[in-house]
Amino acid sequence: MSPRKTTRSSSTVNTPHLLEARRPGRRTGRLLAASVAAACLGAVALPASAADATAGSAPAASRGAAVPDFYDPPAQLPSADGDLVRTEELPLGLSLPGLDGRQMPGTATRLMYKSTDAGGGPVAVTGAYIEPSAAWKGDGPRPLVALASGTMGQGDQCAPSLALEHPLSIGEGTVSIGYDNIAVYRLLASGAAVVVTDYAGLGATDRLHTYVNRVDEGHALLDAARAARSVAGASITSESRVGLYGYSQGGGASAAAAELQASYAPDVNLAGTYAGAPPADLTEVMKGIDGSALAGALGWSINGFAQSDPSLEAVVEANTNDAGKAALKDTSTMCVGDAILGYAFTNSKKWTANGKPIADIIAAEPKLQAILDQQRIGKLKPTAPVRLATGVQDDIVGHEQARQLAVDWCGRGGDVTYKAVLLPNLGDKLLTNHLAPYLADQGSAISWLTDRLAGEKASSNCSSMPIQP
């Protein structure tokens, strides 16, 4: 059975869940990714301590890392999507005092807001809004970028808003790296405000993070843009142009939001979307993840879909062996660093009852295949320009399925700027072929998006798709 999650007190839970699994921590200082991130981010911070919690209530812990009380949803949520539940000051882990007394690159606020999940129910989502110190010099009022983070994990301690406070968090049982902070700070430097979503269940303690569920992600991102307008001191308004930004899991979220905006959030003044390495076809993406350095992400996917559709629990139970059941429990509280250390290069056939890879089991189970088909991005036309980038050597979030999304959108009349990032093969299944395009293309992606926020028209290259790699 897939793991479920509880809050500190049952009185604050929207729906009942089974007890969240915990596991004793392990030392993580050996992790290469953490060392690289520390060099890039230039700061090291420990996980939030019990002192971060509201007085009189012990903080929840995930793999030994404390999660502040702020992340416990109340029993009742506002009725409107994007309405704020609560806010508080969020100290940025990398921040400097400016000459005018304001913090650089901006002033951050931790958020909890209401969204609607894939089942149509209310869900509390957390995140962060950053009011930039830099002036906006483009056309129109200060714009907003709603940023969807790449894969962070499934434990609450992995939430992107916590990573803004603690760019590198190392504890006895977990490693969390705020690698998308670089993009956040670059966007703030342009004068755009930024709102970051933690997604459903990542941070908020009442449920598991549903990972690559396109509706949950798309709604959470669009509602973050709505919530940002109500933050005290925010300079953005309902007239502000909005850009969506995301890579990897975030690319899937921004792509889904671009498709859903017209029907779900027409009040969001969407000007453009950057979707980097989007996992548009999960059937194909799961094949790339299996046996890779990020094999633990298979656990996050299965856990998330079983939570969204409880009828899947019996299917998961029947098709996993004891090792698989233990891995699902274990991964439910892991961040990326933990998953790399614990499950890198694991083949999913070690987790299945019949010894076959998960892809084979999905192909033989019509119910599972139908669920993944429902997650396919590209069936709707995005209403604003989109820049879709994919590394041709990407062997984690496969290039071909990402390119197909551009083809699908072009076929539906979308305004698509397709970018194939050409880099050499940097190592099979090591994440290098997936991460290198993210870094190589980031400057161009941010420039393209800020041009849309300034009101400049995009130039679609759909006509050249047949000859594009």
Structure confidence by residue, pLDDT tens digits, 112-123: 999 999 999 999
Q: Is 45 helix (H, G, I), strand (E, B) or coil?
A: strand
E strand or H helix at 271, and its extent? strand 270-276
- Are 147 and 196 in contact by the 8 Å Cβ rule? The answer is yes
**What angle in degrees, to the nearest 10, is found between the helix axes of 312-319 and 366-374?**
120
Phi–psi pair at 359, nearest 5 degrees: -60, -40
Q: Which long-range contacts (CB under 8 A, 24 or more apart) does 409-415 make?
A: 409/378, 409/381, 409/382, 410/460, 410/462, 410/465, 412/380, 412/381, 413/381, 414/381, 414/382, 414/386, 414/460, 414/462, 415/382, 415/384, 415/385, 415/386, 415/458, 415/460
The DSSP code sequence of 329-350 is HHHTT-BHHHHHHHHTT--GGG
- 455 is written with which tokens? 């009101």
- 87 is written with which tokens? 């806010």
**What angle in degrees, to the nearest 10, is found between the helix axes of 336-343 and 32-41?**
150
- Are 49 and 66 in contact by the 8 Å Cβ rule? The answer is yes
- Are 69 and 51 in contact by the 8 Å Cβ rule? The answer is no
- Choose among 401, 29, 17, 22: nearest CA to 210: 17
Low-confidence ranges of the chain (pLDDT < 70): 1-2, 4-61, 96-102, 104
- Burial label, 18 (beta-carbon count in 10 A; 0-12, 13-18, 19+): exposed
**Rg (alpha carbons) of the chain, rounded to whole number:** 20
Phi–psi pair at 387, nearest 5 degrees: -110, 115
Question: What sign for the dihedral angle of Cα 293, 423, 150, 400?
Answer: negative
pLDDT value for 62: 78
Identify the DSSP state of 130: E
CA–CA gap between residue 166 and residue 291 (Å, rounded): 30
Whether this prediction's pTM lies above 0.95 is answered by no
- Buried-exposed string 80-113: b where 16+ CB fall within 10 A, e elsewhere: ebbebbebeebebbbbeeeeeeebbbbbbbbbbb
Task: Give the residues across from 115 on adjacent strands.
Answer: 123
CA–CA gap between residue 168 and residue 45 (Å, rounded): 6
Number of residues that make up the chain: 469
